[in-house]
Amino acid sequence: MNFDRRRYLDRVKERESRSPLAKNCFFAFLFGGGICAFGQLLLSLYLSAGLAEREAGTLVTVSLIFLSAVLTGIGVFDSIARIAGAGTLVPVTGFANAVVSPAVDCKSEGLVMGVGAKIFAVAGPVLLYATLSGALYGVILWVVGLFL
């Protein structure tokens, strides 16, 4: 059967599922806020244990990364993300999932060629372009500073 472009796009439009935007936004807000509230709870707990604010903040970040990595490793994070959507992309938890998930998927290929080679498959480009953007921004600020 031969389709022209317009008929093909019409057919795709007929079959595509509609995304419940309001529901997705609600759950992203709920879960993202929940992760942040949990982080705040951890911060309060660490501060009440006598840690300085800087050390407590660092420990909160490490705790959230660790919990996200463990939940990804045992397959729970993906189940949460199906419901929460973008709410799980709170930077630390989403980044931890992006690093651990390819490693879990490729563990059957071995530690070197599987986990070692694929662990940064998703997060690698993010790290690369974030580093390059930061360096470019620094150069721009430096050049602007020369003329001010």
Per-residue confidence (pLDDT) for residue 1, from 0 to 100: 54
Closest CA to 45 of 30, 63, 67: 63
Per-residue confidence (pLDDT) for residue 148, from 0 to 100: 83
Measured N-to-C along each axis, helices 76-84 and 53-73 cross at an angle, to the nearest 10 degrees, of 100
Residues 25-55 have pLDDT tens digits of: 999 999 999 999 999 999 999 999 999 999 9
Distance CA 46, CA 142 (A): 38
pTM attached to this predicted model: 0.69
Domain boundaries, the chain: 5-105
Per-residue confidence (pLDDT) for residue 101, from 0 to 100: 80
Closest CA to 90 of 45, 22, 28: 28
Regions of the chain short of the pLDDT cut 50: none
Per-residue confidence (pLDDT) for residue 45, from 0 to 100: 97
Per-residue confidence (pLDDT) for residue 3, from 0 to 100: 66
Per-residue confidence (pLDDT) for residue 94, from 0 to 100: 85
> Percent of the chain beyond pLDDT 70?
96
Per-residue confidence (pLDDT) for residue 113, from 0 to 100: 74
Three-state DSSP at 83 gives helix
